[in-house]
Structure 1
């Protein structure tokens, strides 16, 4: 199947007429975001049962005819690891296309492996080896080389066949409905809505901080997020994670102390020093009940620890039966949350259907595992 390369509005309108009433659309995008906060959409790849198209998002004045089809709730959208692709459409329209089928998630549940790449999935299911030469291409380049377009078209060429096979396998095991909650969650706007007050959780070294330092980190991370969005620059270009942690650890209260922070650029210190000092001072004054929560693992009695160990062994046995890595089903934290009545991944989506619901029933019964 020779893919179309669409660079003008008339061709896009003609192609979108073909999408009318199709059962599914395979979808992928090529974008650049190394130098921006928001992804710069360059190319949209679409496959339908009868055609493949690479749509030049930089050349077209309007993508609206295509968006109308992508947001049609009667057409299934098939993606592989589609979070970043869906984020782009959230920025375009403030909502996300639905319904969704993600072949990476389906592959995990079917025991093909965790975080399985598209090329590996194609090879595993269809026995076809895909080229990987253009994974780091600058998709802003024009004209796009023919080899790049062929590579881009391959990213959707096999999604329909993979979906068909995965759906058949899931249906045979009675698991198709088990994934419905997870697929539906991929289209929830909250998943893509900026949440500046939660950005501190992204920072790996946040666990080094305690008390007011965590409140300061939250304030600084939120400020950085707002700056990055406002100026459309990567977060690390505003302030590196390590600098945020160092500021929250040392809590400078003067311009001189601020200048001693390792990694803090002089230009940032001069331009934003007063704002940073004000943020730090304000966050330090927050009462303890307002400090960001530091989720601590519960302390178990010897009996509770023994029960958690038994549950973990039980999950490992069931995971082996399903051909799934037990680490993809639950970790120690998930089990501890379940035992202490907190929300756990085991109570949601495919994990609940495969294991979690049965596990919860065991815990509620007089004879627990």
Structure 2
């Protein structure tokens, strides 16, 4: 199939106009100007971008990955796929070892089937001082046997683990995780700058939702934020206008070109109405689209988001004023690279034909995954 559009976003530049040729589930060629033959589909005033890659998502469409059931996972995947996320993680919050292990084993089946790109363990090895929406009683120091057990439960499906390196055994856990070929991410942490640097030297390669659930940046004690900004590693950013101010997004994109990764950190309410939900064992209330721990007042800790990646892209471009090329890189190419997903994340010959068609307002009009339209 040959399609044309007024804008086609490649890793190097925005082709205006541009065209893309696919055959089966593969991209064959991408070019600008006049296409090689009469196109099968003329999209006109549209922007074609690669399918979004979300490394941090807990739920959507009213369901959560934490339940560990294939039925719930399919609801989450479908809800985000309709908004352009063609590759996604199944993120699991802190819970008892038995429940987390069971969820990992069940989600690993979807990873092997290609429905999920991998599993992300957000906990239980997190700081009690920076627990956010994680159940304090489920948090623990990273015992080597516990780390090995959860990684083994996934049988290669666990791709990332978020942990607080200042916990007893934290640095050794970073070495253990990264040594297993899994991305060790610094997050939910009260670490000093020096401890965070030690974790990076031990193999940590990513910062989980930078600024959120971390010791704040201070000019005399930069903490984990300063260490992550100072190192050649990737950082997650939640671009929903709740977790980060637009000026912070602009600052981090300027400080870490090519290293910013947009994530949703979405929970079950993503794509759904306000109401009462759950995130793992925690009760959550969503009011005006903002998810918080249920305390009856709406003033509890932020508990993930109701974001979808298309909305994150719109916010980053239209509100924060970031260049479309940089934002698409952060929503697709950078996360794919961070997890070693060489098959997706860019409109290039040989990659899987995953693409999203956006209108002039950057709203989703069509979604293709593996060469098949899943939303028209």
Output the TM-score relative to the length of structure 1: 0.22
Q: Which structure would you say has the larger Rg?
A: 1
Q: Whose relative contact order is higher, 1 or 2, with alpha carbons under 8 Å and at least 6 apart?
A: 2
Q: TM-score, normalized by length of structure 2?
A: 0.21
